[in-house]
Every structure is written in C-alpha cells, then in structure tokens.
Chain A
C-alpha cells in the first residue's frame, strides 16, 4: 500500500529524504521545512529560512548529512548541522537568473546547480579559502536547465534543458576528482566536455534526465509525453540505440530508475507510470495508482463529516464531490525519488506534488 502524507496546501517543488529516511526536507515557498518521522506520519521539526524567493530544489547528502538548497533568488545555500541548529553557507554561483535544480554528486564532494542563465554551476569546496566555489558549464546550453543527474562515477553530469536537448557533460575538476574509469561516455574527459547530446524529435522541453543505476544508459522525459532511453556505444561514436516511447498521457516531468531494466515516470497526469525494457526496446508496462482502477477518490484521505455536510448544503448532493481526481495526488507530480531498496533494485519510491502531498509508492502496483 502507498503511504500518503498531506503536508500542507502549497506546491512542493522538491523533496529529499535522509539516508535512514527519518528526516524529510520539503521546499515550501521561500523556506525549506524539515519533518521528522514519528510513527506513521511526519511532524514539523525545523525550518531552513535563508532564501528570499521561492526555493526550487533541495537535496540531502546521504553520508555527510549536509543539505543544499537553491532558489529563484539566484543563490544556493549549504546547510550543516551544528549544536545551535542548521548553519547556512552561501555559495558563489555567479548566475544572473533563477537557480532551478540542485543535486549532490554521489561522492558528495561536489554539487551541480542548473539555472535559467543557460549555465550549470558545478560547485566544490575550496579548503584554502574555506568557501564553496563554482565552475560554469556553458556550452552548448541554449536555454534554461530544468534538471540534472549524476553518473555513479561523480564526474559525468546529465542535464535536461528547455532547448529540447538532453546532454551529458564532464564535470571533472582537477584536485577534487580522481581520474574516472573510462566508460562508454568517454575516456579522457576534461571539464565541460560534451559526451553526448540528444534532441527530442519534436522539439519539446526536456523536463528530467537520469542515468541508469549502472550509468550505462540515460533516460529523459520531454514535453511531448515521451520517455527516451539512450544506450551509448563508445566515445565519439553514435549510440547503440535511442529508444523513444510516446504515450497517450499528458507530459511527464520527472523520472527515476528502479532497476537497470525498469524506470518510473510521472507528471501532469498525477500518477506514476512504470516503463520496462532493454536495449531491444522499451514499453509502458503498467500504471501505479491507476485512476481507472481506483474506486474512491484520492481526496478521501482528507474528507470529513464537515465536508460532506457542506457538499449537501452548497450543491444539494450527498455523494462525494466529483471535483477530486481519482488519483492520490490531486495535482501534477513534481519530483520522484528512490525511497527504499538499493540502487538497481528500488522497491519503493517517493513523490511530491503541486498539491502539497508526499506519497510513498511501492514499485509493484
């Protein structure tokens, strides 16, 4: 069964769980709220207030437990736990547009920030000066970067952008990174090397990108309701396969891999969909929380006697109102994240939506 947590009635742009899943960070307007697991629910524990415009993304590093946030105020903050509470450090991003997306690298020494300024700021800590500095990936980005995803080797970085491209860059920083093992994406890869560039055939915005658990495939979702999986062959060579699945649904805006042969995507249709496949081909396998199968409306979790009588009074009907969607999420899903299981075998994933809910779904519908 899926766990539903209606937190508040504001959109959730991004959410992140700590490694032990006891702490949940949720962006809410200009703040980030920290919830602690208590029994079957979450209780508000702390609030990170440091941005003065909408917070667009938040990420908790699993091991160091540092939290990085970014916002439309063009800043990113790194929050460290201290005896007196969470201590923020401002990061010099040097961008002149909103920051849109932030993610820690798997080894947690770097993080990348996407922005509307057509740059990706790759940030790392400079011990000498005791601050976070950033290096920009600029070319050939032509528009706002919506999402970023790290390869397991912490050097390759995928970006999806409004110029209809999903790209794979090298974010190798001398002195911070070890030279990575050669992969199908590239062997010798200095900073800002473009290791792959894939256009969405109908020119739709690329909303989200993700590397497969092994890092040997890249998936992205675009505004033409499609999911595309790319299998690279060798550096500088055309890929083995670029497999696109177009669906009957509204566009997806987020995706997450669960296994090497399975991924979940969700978006404006308010319920997640599972895709399965391999280099031979991909297909839509099944829906999680399928609205056609659920009898009751998802809003029943919040229904009350008061609502029922209000319905009868205002609209003169006694049945549940039909303004609610039949899915658990009552509005678009913004972010999917793995929740339980190991990379390559995720059994549960979490989602956040514009309806202010966090839902934890089992992958098996």
Chain B
C-alpha cells in the first residue's frame, strides 16, 4: 500500500527511481539525446551538401528526375539517398525524445478532484513524474541532492521547497513578495542541520503528498505538464517552519497563495491567448457571417462598434472570472431568447463582461444562438447627436431594421438609460426606449444592455424597458477576486511604464481603494490607482523600479487626504508628543486632551475598529471653557489646519425637516451639508456644536453614524464616516458642573450624575452609549485664565509681527487682564473681550496716530502703552 491518486480509473503514483545512479542516468540520457540530435542534423547537412556539390560538378542535377539516376550506382546518388535516410532517422529521434510519455488527463465538466489515498498496487500505474516538465524534474532532483548531501533520513517538503527555489517562477514569487534568499538563508540552514540523519533516504509522506497534489493542481488547471511552481507551493503549504519563517518576514500565507495565483493567472493568460489566436483565425470580421446570409448594415455600422471584430483583432482585454454571471446571462438567452440588462455600478466590469462575451463568440464557446454572430455595441450618444428626437427615432428604426434583416447581429446597448426621456429645445421630447422594446418584442431578437443600479431603479424599472429586459446583477468583486483581476491587468501596466509591482503593492491597491474610496468601485478604482502609481514611480524612481505598497499608499493618501503611508520619524514624534503640542494652545482640560490624543494615536496605528469613526466624543461643560477650542486644536495639530473641520451648529436643526439640510433633499442629486462635506473630505473632524439643541429625529440619524461609520444621503449614496473624528459639544448640565466644582465633587462622580440625571432628558441612553468618551470640561480656574491671557497676548504679538512691530506686556498687566476677564460662569469668553478692549484698541490707536513705526516695540504696562523706539537706520 502506498499513496496514490485514483483518477479516471487509473492510478497515478510517484514511482520515480530517485537513486543517485538513476538521476545521473536521466541527466546523461537527456544530454545524450541532445547530442544525438545535433549529430544527426550535422550529418544530414553534410550529406546533403556533398550530394549537391557532386550533382553540380558532375552536371547531373537534372538526372535526378530520371529512374536511371536512382538505379545506376553513383556517388551523388548514394549521398542523396543517405540524406533521406538520415532525415528519416532524425525525424524518428526528434519525435521520440520530444514526445510526452503520458499526457495530462482531460478534466470534464463538474469533475470532482480526487483525494490522495493509500492504494493497492495495480498492474498498470502511471508515474506522475512522466507528466513533469524539466523545471519540476530539476526541483525534485535538487531536493534529492540536498537531502543526500546532508545525509538526511527523509526527504521533506523543506527540501522540495529549497529544491524548487531555482525555478524562475518561484524566484518571481519571492522577489515580488519582497523576499530574498539571503534573508531566509540562515534560519533555513539551521533547520536543515536539525534534520534527522540516516540511510537509506526516503521520501516523507508529506513530500509524496506535495508531489501528488502538485499533479492534481496542474490537472485541475488543465496545464500541459506539472511545473516546479506547483511543487514549490505545495511544499510551502506543508511545512509549518517555512510558513512561520515567511510570516516573520511579514508575509501572510494567504498573501503567498495570492502571489502563486498571480503567476498561474499569467501563465493561463499566455496559454489562453495562444488558443484564442488560433480560434480567431476562423472568425469572419466585417458584416458578413460564414453562411453569407447576413445583409450589409451601413446605418447600424455608423452608429455602433463591432465588438467581435475588435476581439478578433485582439483589441479587447481578456476577461478574468465572472463565470457565474456569464452562466446566468447565457441561461436567460438560451431559456427564452430574452434580452438581458447587466446592472452594476460604474467600474465593476459591466463593459468588460460584454467584451468577454464578444471574445467567447469569437472562440464560438457560446450557446448555439450566439454562434456565427456579431456583437454590435450601439452608441446612443452617436445616435442622438445632432438630431431632433424624431430624426433620432428614425435612425434607430433604420438601424434596428438592419439588425432584423441581417439576422447575424446581437445588439449590445451600454448605459441603456440614455434611451429614455430624451428631449431637444423646448417641448419636443421622445422616448427611444419604446422603439427598442417594440422592435425586440416583435422581431423575437434579443439584446444585451448595461446600466447602473441607480438608473435601473429610477428609470428602467418603471419604464417600458423592464418588460423585455431581464436583470442580471453584476456585483462588485470581493477583495480576493479584485486582486486576481488586478493581477491579470498588471502585466500591461508594468510593460507600459517599465516598472515592477510587488505583491504587497498590488494587495494594498485593492485594500486601500476598497477602504477609502467609496465613490468608485472595484476593480476599476484599483486598476486606476495601480496605473497612476506606476507612472509616478517611473517618473520619480526611474525605469525598472519596484512599485511598493508605500508608493500605492502615497497616491491613495494624496487622493483621499487620509494619512496612510508608514509613520515616518517626524510624524512618530508628533504622535508621541501629541498632548504637549495640543497644550501649546489648550490650557487645562487634561482629561479631554489625553482622551483625544489616545484616539488619534489608535487611529494612526490602525488599532481601531475599521467600521466605526476614528472616535466620537461628547464634550460637556459650561461655555467658554475650551470645547470648541480643543476641536480646533485637533484640526490644527493633526489634520493640518484649523479649518480642516466640518462645523455644524446644531441649534439650526431644531425642527424635523431640517434633516434635509444635513443629508440632502429627497429626489435631488445635491447632497446635504454634512454628507457632501464628508464625502469630499473623508479625513476630517465633524464638530457638532450644541448637540442637545437638535431635533430628536436628527439625533437618531447620528446613532448610525456613531455605530456603523456611515450615512446614506437623500440620493442614495453611502457616505463613509470611518475616517472622521466626531465631536459633539453640549452645555447640558452646566449649572450642575459649576455647582459641583464649587463643592469640590470629583470628576467621576460628576460624570455619573450627569449621565444618569442631567443628560437623561436631553439624550437617549443608546446615543450616550455610542460615544467613545463623555468628557466633562471643568470651569477654568483663575490660574488657567492667567495662562490663557498669556496665550492671547502672544497671539497679539504674532499679529503685530507681520507689521514689523514687536510687542510685549508686563507680568503685572497680564495678571490684571486675567483678573478682569475672569468670570466663573462664562469661562474665557470675557477675557477675549477684555483683551480686545484694553489691548487691541490701545494698539489700534497708536497705529492710527502714526507714533509707532517698523522695528519699534510696543510695551503694555499698568497705566497704558509705552513705545520703545528702535534706532534709526
């Protein structure tokens, strides 16, 4: 009993003789075959050359056509016949050495891939080694020599992995994953030294499994032979140490699998292209079908594009995946000659699917109804341009008549909603859809159309078009599928810009666009980012450079304003010292500053939940204690500038209908104030001032935002809030806070009381629950007011700096200002007023009087302003 695979009633087993002599013999035999081949070619050429020379010198060149030449002995005759015999021998030699001993079994539809089992020996067994290509043979032989060299008892997947590393495809996998052999060398060497020694060497069970699975993979993919890449992959899957090692180098096993898939896709595309070119030779281009039954269609031709001809000429990209959708489309067409409308958002690949159908039609791998037909894409803009509605209708009718008479045309209409409700000038309006529907239902022909989900619900579902068109949903591909689609497109992008994509770049491209660019859809957005980054890298780093995940992150960052690149030193410093930086303009309120800084650090290191906003805070406290100021401080220190914030005064949203101002009017394409602002700038602070004053229904809307990080606007667009910091401020419970501070109640007790008592009437408990932090801003102490006064004086000084004038205030004066501006009820607000009246006004006066000039210093002291004159130049 030994491991094997029972496939189509035949037993496939690994039964290659792996003794040193056998391997050496195989290598020698291969070389001998090559030597023999070269020798025969040389002999053939020599004999042919000699016979020609003799024929010419003996002037008997025309005698070869007479029988006597062949029967009468002559030297030239001998050489000529010898040429023929050597040629025959060479033909036999070449056929025997190039021929695969066994060919890959054919995979039938819905065939189940068998398991590897312990099987009884059978009379006729097939050695899977006979299906190996040169690279696979070399991989196993290398593994064998390695194990032999170390004197190991068993040949394990580790040896197979190392043995197949020399293969060019395996090398491509490693280099695109950013792995080098050098970085793995030492741990691998240590691992090899720890293996058990002994003789005779045997293949371990998992090695045999790796080899047999490599064969099954190749069978499943219907490859011509088993390659080293498959052995490499299967060995990887079976060795936990290698997986751990690669994980240490930052590569996840599924990333490794996706990279293998990339190489497989590439190989498959090459094989498919070869098959496609062969099939395309027999597909007629132009208006006429093979049976010559069609009619010339001049009008239709001028308003449409022949997709099958484009496919024959190789102008359309190959379609990857989408088998499910294709099957559904064909089923509908076959089922009842019904027309199909492919419904999917822009960028998910509706047009690619249409082009994929054109390619299948070229290969004739389509239901009989689509065979020997042309797929014509009708361009609605062409049809209606420069025409009055009635003219356009006439054009369409003529074109459709041509389709009907021709009989070999399948009509494709992209963005079919363009056909409805088209009008020119005032009044004259007409629906082309009616003409199309009438034609399709009368003629018994069918069409394939595309549209977006929004157009489908708003236009098509309620129009006459829904009568003849069956809906097929084209969903956005999953992350994995999008990676595979991108893998199929990346070759062309790499070629165009002469750059090389690493796997991580490709993965990042899909992940980041999926997470941060909600306005567009996969795979298109990922392909576009890949293209843009390729161009950027080619220009900045030069030709043949690697496109890394950081390059992708940079481009996505530029597009979305969300910081995504790895945290650099400068930013690291900024993040670590965030509290200090915030305190440069915020006085006091330690708890609030610490909570906010923590949330921002979590967000930047990706430790937060991805489907919620970065953070949602409720700032409670009396007026003038720094709630809005803290929001502005965050905007400035972290989001770039003070203005990078969406500020909504919720007291303006007191009646239920004001919700439309926030999320847009129903049935209108204009978004609301909140949704549009966040849609355009997803990485921002949303400041909701005086939150409690908004209508209850509006507060409910925010429940969803706090919880799911998204909000759907009136036109149906989902706006992403996962990169926003939401800050709601509220004056609720102010009196209680002020009283408690006077009584010396600690913050925690204050907070509990606020949540349980004071806020109860204002907010529903589930809303309060959704805040990441409810932060109580205490009234400012006298000392804090003094610090704020200093900050404000510094601001005055900064303003004067632009005029070239210096400014300073004496400590006594600052203390006096703070004293005047201190009011426990209104926080720092009165201080601002005092500074305006006492400082700004006085400075304005001296400026107007003209007593102060550039380089002078204004000194503010008790008793008034003094000017220190600068020396004249």
Q: Do A and B come from one complex?
A: no
